[in-house]
Amino acid sequence: MDFVTIVQILDSTVRLATPLLLACLAGLFSERAGVFDIGLEGKMLVSAFFSAAVAFMTGSVWLGLMAGIAASIVFALIHGLASITFRGDQLISGVAINFLASGMTVLIAQDWFSQGGRTPSLSGDARFGPLEWPGADALRDSAVVGPIYSDLVSGHTVLVYVALLMVPLSWYVLFRTRFGLRLRAVGENPGAVDTAGVSVVRLRYTAVIICGFLCGLAGAYLATGLAAGFVKDMTAGRGFIALAALIFAKWRPWYALGACLLFGLLEAVGNRFQNVEVIGINVPTQLMQALPYILTVVILAGFVGKAIPPRAGGAPYVKER
């Protein structure tokens, strides 16, 4: 394997890890506040559809992005209403959101566009284009610096850089601000937070809205950055992989970045090497493509007992009278 091929795989890794990273950080905020959310998949899916649909109809990817974020936040608020206000089971609410998004997006897409549950292909201003950094063209022919700077560092869409910037921002908000301290305290001991005069409900709703915003970015990136439109179930389990990455990262932003890059690397390798021989045995293409999902099962089986979630996670808070 030559150097250029390695850089190309790493470039694909960054692109494929971006929606996982945004969804993982979304789950991080929600679960740190004590609201477990397995509806990340559904919120990403509904965002992907509405961002692609609005971008196609208006010709503006930015309007599509705002529509995708708004749709995701609406679904996040539904989850918040069910699990925070009405104190329902958070897991059941998340499952319901996934089912609702999966069916609703295809039904509306068929009604609007009549293309078998998908949106028309996006082009031009309806898609996020790559951002070329200064000097990228001049350094492209360089043997070592060229591939790293021109292909790996430069040439990604704006949402890739936003996702990477969200990691230090999330770390700062959670571990260096009063809001982050209170948010983490709500996930550990909501009674103590309530006793201190801070609204548990308001903090949890804020975390849920942040979760919806980040899932909206992830879904919009899938449909308008990574791909050129919406297709049925295009999230392909990425929401569940993001949850596995969150457990693997032990609910910490920097570890989440490493976990998502690992998943992205496996997907990039699976896409790049469709036919591989190991000790004279031809590895099936399906096995290579299943690598991220296999790792998900391995992580959940091997690390779920070692990663300790927030103590108040998954339990509705009932204020003592």
Give the global pTM: 0.93
Most confident range (mean pLDDT) of 124-138, 148-162, 180-194, 271-285 is 180-194
pLDDT higher than threshold 70 for residue 263: yes
| pLDDT tens, residue by residue, 157-207 | 999 999 999 999 999 999 999 999 999 999 999 988 988 888 999 999 999
| pLDDT tens, residue by residue, 217-261 | 999 999 999 999 999 999 988 999 999 899 888 899 999 999 899
d(CA 61, CA 250): 34
Which pLDDT value is given to residue 281? 64
pLDDT higher than threshold 60 for residue 279: no
Q: Which residue has the tokens 């006793």?
A: 195
Which pLDDT value is given to residue 278? 58
**Percent of the chain scored above 90 by pLDDT?**
61
Residue 277: phi, psi to the nearest 5? Answer: -105, 130
pLDDT higher than threshold 70 for residue 13: yes
Give the mean pLDDT of the chain: 88
8 three-state secondary structure: helix
